Amino acid sequence: MPGDVTLRAVDLSKRYGEVVALDGVSLEARAGECLALIGESGSGKTTLLRCFNRMTDPDSGRVLVDGAEVGSLDPIALRRRIGYVPQEGGLLPHWSIGRNVSLVPWLRRMTDRAERGARALVLVGLDPAAFAGRKPRELSGGQRQRAAVARALAADPDVILLDEPFGALDAITRADLQETFLRLRTELRFTALLVTHDLHEAMHLADRIVVMRAGRVEQTGTPDDLRRAAATDYVRHLLERARVAS
Amino acid sequence: MLAAAVLAGCVPALAQERAGSRPVIVASKPFGESYLLAEMFAQLLEGRGFRVDRRPGLGATEIAFRAMQGGVIDVYPEYTGTGLLAILHRPPQSDPRAVYAIVSREFRGRWGVHWLPPLGFQNTYAIAVRRETAERERLATLSDLARASGHLRAGLTPDFIGRPDGLPGLAKAYGLGFRSVQALGPAVKYQALAAGTVDVIDGYSTDGLIAKFDLVVLRDDRRFFPPYEAAALVGPGLIRDEPGAVVALTELSGRLGEEQMRRLNRRVEVDGEPVSRVAASALAALGLVGASARPPVAAPSGGQGLGAYLWARHEDILRLTGRHLLLVGVSLGAAILVAVPVGLALERMRRGAETVIRGAGVLQTVPSIALLAFMIPLIGIGVVPALVALFLYSLYPILRNTYTGVRDAAPEAVGAASALGMTPGQVLRYVRLPLAAPVIMAGIRTSAVINVGTATLAAFIGAGGLGDPIAAGLALSDTKMILSGALPAALLAMLVDTALGICERMVSA
């Protein structure tokens, strides 16, 4: 399944004043792969994610999307071709769901933006006839998060960045959305970078897992690699705590 | 730019037109006798064929004299003692002729301002008590008062409390020490004394209200108060442009006695006769001008009920309300056009934003009457300075609410919108601004209500509006006249707030 390298970070460093967010981080994700970034808060996983759509620029190192240095790209154009799902959904509260999910097609001046929005809603399991006209506050938390995923998919991006997308949901709703995500991956074959603090979620959804701690990568590997051979005490401890060690 | 266009469109309509030979601008300070003397000046000049622009109740000494220095008014009645102490800051003197000689020499030398020969009466400070207090404490002189002052409460005008020839000097000269000293406006001190809220007040020796409330004026046995001879104070512009008017004004010199003045003041302050009629009859009695009364700015209420009085004046009130609304609308509109874009710009810069907003906040803390006084030497009196002052007062709430409303608008929505590729401009236009709209509208409503209230003070610099009857009513102790301005102003504030509330619902829908 893995094809060419779609996302690549080489030796990224980033500090905010005294705080080191990234300390020489490298990773790569192949086309169609889902890579989970896992770690505690403050481990640098969100900062790393944000380097790929230039919401953050690293102090040093290289970030490449489809082989192009993102530093040389227009950040606005870059963001419009990368899907993004934040934790709280980030739907615009004063816009209807239909308008929200058509946001990126609209920004890209696509003529079929309404159809694209409706198609994306169908993909995530929301009936456009019932939901397109509603405001975000009229939806449940799970429905809002589905709409946020639909918004990220509406312009058919090759890459999707997800920042703890299911973290704020209750267990049952989260499981439903995780299944939807797996289905969408097989149907659409996008490349995904998924930030999470939940090892179960990472193992369930991702092809490979990048364990981060204090701005550095502790280990990168498939769920099986991690289970079989934890590279450091920290990773072992993480696995034990989550009771997924073999 | 739009703000400038709005201002340019409205100001000419508001400003007094000046064509042909220039009118003589006659002003007064805001109390009955000053109104009356100014009206006598005005009618005398009109009787001699001059055009007159009246600015009754312009402001206390500082404001009135500053307006004269700035050349915005030509003549107003002033008192030699005030000139000596409050304007020249010289030590007090007790000889009237020496005082007149000093002020006329100094004013001419320093500012080209002329004291015409005195009108013939003195209006010095009078310390008054209720008759029963005088009898109980056996008070006849200020020395007696000093003896009893330890258990008496004084209610004095802020002016009197502050000036060297007022309370500080008096306390030193007589060894006075009141149990308490409360600052009371000229309009309420007589009522406060009559009601027993205070025991001692300062008044003027020619006040008509002294007779009305049957008060006892204590004799200045140590001759502390300097002479306050009334005279017309004339600015250099009038002497240059219309010397004939100055000659006409001297016809009143030496013609008004103290007893006569007290009678005239009583007719205005106690009996509620229109100032214009009292002035006309006084001039007629002096054989100076045939009886000719102009319609008064604010008619005294006499014995009518409030409802009847308001009804009888409803056309005037409507006209003043329209003027008021125009002042509020223009200044508020300009403030919106400035503060909303500036608030948005500050949000984009952030650094230094708080400093700018606090600066606007400091403006808000300047007392309105002081701000108006500062305006006089810069832009004179009338509509323009009033608009500028109201504009400045309206900035802060709009600026603050625009800035914080936009800054704090749904951060996760703002973050997602830019992460999905909205430009900063699009984030502002499609996300921040619509989400901040209710907060911005709330700021505009706050400014509007403050503005309607503050605009009543515009009357003190001759801008008109509902403050006119309030200022005149305060000066003449006429409650109904005050209410004829205050009630419509309060009503207007509520209406404006309600109307903007409806706008707000439409904006956020």
Identify which of A76, A92, A93 has the shortest CB distance to residue B421: A76
User: What band does B18 get if pLDDT is binned at 50, 70 and 90?
Assistant: very low
pLDDT exceeds 60 at position B251: yes
Judge whether A1 is closer than 8 Å to chain B, CB to CB. no
Q: What is the mean pLDDT of residues B447-459?
A: 88
Helix (H, G, I), strand (E, B) or coil at B156: strand
Q: Which amino acid is at B161?
A: I
Q: What is the mean pLDDT of residues B435-461?
A: 88
User: What band does B301 get if pLDDT is binned at 50, 70 and 90?
Assistant: low
User: What band does B293 get if pLDDT is binned at 50, 70 and 90?
Assistant: very low
Beta strand extents in B131-280 (DSSP E only): 153-156, 180-183, 200-204, 215-218, 230-234
**pLDDT value for A143:** 94
Lowest-pLDDT range of A194-208, B113-127, B344-358: B344-358
H/E segment holding residue B442 = helix B433-454
In whole angstroms, give the CA distance from residue B116 to residue B249: 8
**pLDDT value for B113:** 93
Burial-class residue A171 by CB neighbours within 10 Å (0-12, 13-18, 19+). Answer: exposed
Per residue in B131-154, pLDDT tens?
Answer: 999 999 999 999 999 999 999 999
In whole angstroms, give the CA distance from residue B435 to residue B177: 60
In whole angstroms, give the CA distance from residue A215 to residue A47: 9
- B425 contacts on A by Cβ (under 8 Å): none
Phi, psi angle pair for A167, to nearest 5° = -65, -30
User: What band does B508 get if pLDDT is binned at 50, 70 and 90?
Assistant: low
In whole angstroms, give the CA distance from residue B382 to residue B450: 20
Percent of chain B with pLDDT over 90: 36
Put simply, the answer to whether B421 touches A151 (Cβ < 8 Å) is no
**Cα of B483 vs its chain's centroid, Å:** 17
**pLDDT value for B208:** 77
Q: Cβ distance B399 to B430 under 8 Å?
A: no
Q: How many CB atoms lie within 10 A of CB B160?
A: 23
CATH topology (fold) of A1-81+158-246: Rossmann fold (3.40.50)
Q: How many CB atoms lie within 10 A of CB B179?
A: 12
Q: Which amino acid is at B129?
A: V
Put simply, the answer to whether A91 touches B431 (Cβ < 8 Å) is no
Token pair, residue B42, equals 């005005």
**pLDDT value for A29:** 93
Among B76, B100, B224, residue whose Cα is nearest residue B160: B224
**pLDDT value for A244:** 64
Buried b (16+ CB within 10 A) or exposed e, B398-410: bbbbbbbbbbebb
Per residue in B177-213, pLDDT tens?
Answer: 999 998 887 767 888 898 888 999 998 888 877 877 8
In whole angstroms, give the CA distance from residue B376 to residue A94: 48
CA distance A244 to chain B (A): 33
CA distance A139 to chain B (A): 16
Q: Which residues of chain B have a Cβ shorter than 8 Å from any chain A Cβ?
A: 410, 412-413, 415-423, 426, 430-431, 434-435
pLDDT exceeds 80 at position A86: yes
The more confident residue out of B448 and B2 is B448
- CA B412, B417, B421, B426 dihedral sign is negative
Percent of chain A with pLDDT over 70: 98
Burial-class residue A38 by CB neighbours within 10 Å (0-12, 13-18, 19+). Answer: buried
**pLDDT value for A243:** 74
User: What band does B456 get if pLDDT is binned at 50, 70 and 90?
Assistant: confident
Nearest CA in chain A to B412: A90
Put simply, the answer to whether A107 touches B422 (Cβ < 8 Å) is yes
Rounded to the nearest 5 percent, the helix, strand and coil shares of chain B are 65, 10, 25
Pairs from B318-323 (Cβ < 8 Å, separation ≥ 24)? B320/B464, B320/B465, B320/B466, B320/B468, B320/B469, B320/B485, B320/B488, B321/B466, B321/B488, B321/B492, B323/B14, B323/B464, B323/B465, B323/B466
In whole angstroms, give the CA distance from residue B95 to residue B80: 11
* β-bridge pairing A191-196 and A208-213: unpaired
Put simply, the answer to whether B435 touches A93 (Cβ < 8 Å) is yes
CA distance B439 to chain A (A): 15
In whole angstroms, give the CA distance from residue B55 to residue B464: 10
**pLDDT value for B367:** 81
Buried b (16+ CB within 10 A) or exposed e, B324-353: bbbbbebbbbbbbbbbbebbbebbeeeeeb
pLDDT exceeds 80 at position B473: no
pLDDT exceeds 80 at position B377: no
**pLDDT value for B231:** 94
User: What band does A126 get if pLDDT is binned at 50, 70 and 90?
Assistant: very high
Per residue in B46-63, pLDDT tens?
Answer: 988 899 999 888 888 888
- A65 contacts on B by Cβ (under 8 Å): none
How many Å from the N-terminal Cα to the C-terminal Cα in chain B? 29
Name the strands in the sheet holding B230-234, side by side, starting at the edge strand that comes first in the sequence. B52-55, B24-27, B75-79, B230-234, B114-115
Distances (CA, A) of A161 to A29, A37, A153, A157: 12, 11, 11, 10
User: What band does B30 get if pLDDT is binned at 50, 70 and 90?
Assistant: confident
Q: How many CB atoms lie within 10 A of CB A50?
A: 21
Identify which of A79, A94, A148 has the shortest CB distance to residue B435: A94
**Which one of B420, B435, B506 makes the best mutation probe of the A interface by having the most chain A beta carbons within 10 Å?**
B420
In whole angstroms, give the CA distance from residue B152 to residue B146: 10
DSSP 8-state class, residue B351: T
Q: Cβ distance B153 to B160 under 8 Å?
A: no
Cβ contacts below 8 Å, chain A against chain B, sum to 59
Per residue in A167-183, pLDDT tens?
Answer: 888 889 999 999 999 99
pLDDT exceeds 80 at position B478: no
In whole angstroms, give the CA distance from residue B90 to residue B99: 10
User: What band does B299 get if pLDDT is binned at 50, 70 and 90?
Assistant: low
Among B260, B140, B263, B127, residue whose Cα is nearest residue B208: B263
Name all domains of chain B by residue range, CATH numbers in brackets.
21-121+228-296 (3.40.190.10), 125-218 (3.40.190.120), 314-508 (1.10.3720.10)
pLDDT exceeds 50 at position A225: yes
- A55 contacts on B by Cβ (under 8 Å): 418-419
In whole angstroms, give the CA distance from residue B165 to residue B171: 10
Instruction: State the SS3 of A164-219.
Output: CCCCCCCHHHHHHHHHHHHHHHHHHCCEEEEEECCHHHHHHHCCEEEEEECCEEEE
Lowest-pLDDT range of A46-55, A151-160, B227-236, B313-322: B313-322
Sequence-separated (6 or more) residues with CB below 8 Å from residue B53: B16, B23, B24, B25, B26
Per residue in B255-279, pLDDT tens?
Answer: 898 778 888 988 888 787 889 999 9
Q: How many CB atoms lie within 10 A of CB B84?
A: 24
pLDDT exceeds 90 at position B474: no
Helix (H, G, I), strand (E, B) or coil at A105: helix
pLDDT exceeds 70 at position B338: yes
